[in-house]
């Protein structure tokens, strides 16, 4: 059973008190919208006549936006290029209400930009402008210091690893032990094959595919999930493993505790983009405000159910989470 509605309302209303540091790969999402009516004579591709362009935060930026939608205080520790697009990212973060003191401008490394060209509502192609290798070693001390200098100001840290080179093994080996020693929650949205680099964290949130990749076998049924989750919990020496399972909900594994399966809420799904960012954001904010792991899992499941009903990388605010909890599809 999940938390009763009174307890849930108390937790959700308290999320504005959470103080969370986000470390990870932040990027700029660019959308080029247009129309198409013919094929190019130069190659078998459509000609897209551009009608508008739009921009927004991507990668770890979506975690930031999810936390800010809850009202939580957020500090961003990440790197962008020393370029115009890096300034755009900084402006978007400030507009969202995030603290950008830990956002570093790095020379000789462009801001990661993902450009999606969309014609008649259909994505035609995506163009990635990025350098995905590890950030230069000379810049690592700046990232490390950005975390350490503000550690006392925050209750929890989320590592949002998109494999773009900011979350390096050296950085993790410094900040994870320091955060745990300071009594901070450390949550990781993982990137395969780096799982073992996250050893010792409070929480890791792989989806079924990522968990299976780490274990080198598919997790096809309930028995596989239970066995696999326990193996990951032991291998990474973490407090909780939350495996997100799409239409099958999520499964929470706790050190020294039982396995808790949380079913998905029966709703119409429009877009699962960014749902994982919502889960780790809400779960971590709940833990940062004294909710239990089981309570955090139930509430993050509700929040994910809110965002999958929206188009694109979306967020859930406290009122929407409570409506999901008390509506026809809610579990409370």
Catalytic positions, please? Answer: 277
- The answer for residues whose C-beta is within 8 angstroms of residue 204's C-beta and 6 or more apart is 187, 188, 190, 195, 198, 232, 236, 238, 240, 241, 242
Phi and psi at residue 27, to the nearest 5°? -150, 170
DSSP state of 267: -
Cα-based torsion angle of the residue sequence 217, 206, 269, 287 in order, rounded to the nearest 10 degrees = 150
Integer Cα distance of 162 and 55 in angstroms: 19
Backbone angles phi, psi at 166, to 5 degrees: -85, -40
Helix (H), strand (E) at residue 246: none
Please name which of 257, 328, 272 lies closest in space to residue 305, comparing C-alpha atoms. 272
- Count CB neighbours of 94 within 10 A: 13
Can you tell me the distance from the alpha carbon of 152 to that of 303, in angstroms, rounded to the nearest whole number? 28
Q: Is 6 helix (H, G, I), strand (E, B) or coil?
A: helix
CB atoms near residue 137 (< 10 Å): 9
Both tokens of 204, joined, read 């890791």
- Distance, in Å, from the CA atom of 47 to the CA atom of 38, rounded to the nearest integer, reads 6
Strand partners, 185: 156
CA-to-CA distance for 61 and 158, rounded, in angstroms?
12
């Amino acid at each position: 059973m999940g938390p009763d509605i009174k307890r849930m309302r108390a937790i959700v209303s308290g999320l504005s008190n959470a103080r969370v540091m986000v470390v990870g790969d932040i990027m700029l999402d660019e959308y080029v919208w247009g129309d198409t009516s013919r094929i190019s004579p130069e190659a078998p591709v459509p000609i897209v006549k551009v009608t508008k362009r739009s921009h927004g935060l991507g990668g770890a930026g979506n975690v930031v936006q999810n936390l800010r939608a809850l009202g939580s205080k957020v500090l961003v520790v990440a790197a962008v290029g020393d370029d115009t697009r890096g300034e755009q990212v900084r402006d978007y973060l400030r507009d969202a209400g995030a603290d950008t003191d830990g956002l570093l401008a790095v020379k000789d490394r462009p801001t990661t930009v993902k450009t999606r060209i969309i014609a008649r509502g259909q994505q035609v192609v995506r163009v990635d402008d990025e350098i995905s290798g590890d950030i230069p070693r000379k810049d690592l001390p700046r990232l490390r210091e950005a975390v350490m200098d503000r550690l006392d100001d925050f209750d929890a840290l989320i590592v949002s690893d998109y494999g773009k080179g900011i979350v390096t093994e050296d950085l993790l080996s410094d900040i994870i032990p320091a955060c745990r020693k300071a009594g901070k929650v450390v949550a990781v949205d993982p990137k395969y094959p780096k799982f073992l680099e996250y050893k010792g964290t409070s929480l890791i949130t792989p989806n079924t595919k990522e968990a299976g990749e780490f274990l080198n076998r598919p997790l096809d049924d309930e028995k596989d999930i239970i066995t696999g989750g326990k193996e990951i919990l032991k291998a990474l020496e973490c407090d909780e493993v939350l495996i997100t399972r799409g239409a099958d909900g999520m499964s929470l594994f706790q050190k020294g505790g039982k396995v808790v399966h949380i079913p998905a809420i029966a709703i119409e799904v429009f877009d699962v983009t960014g749902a994982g960012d919502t889960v780790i954001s809400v779960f971590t904010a709940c833990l940062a405000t004294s909710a239990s792991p089981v309570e955090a899992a139930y509430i993050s499941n509700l929040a994910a159910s809110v965002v999958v009903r929206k188009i694109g990388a979306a967020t859930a605010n406290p009122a929407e989470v409570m409506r999901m909890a008390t509506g026809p599809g809610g579990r409370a």
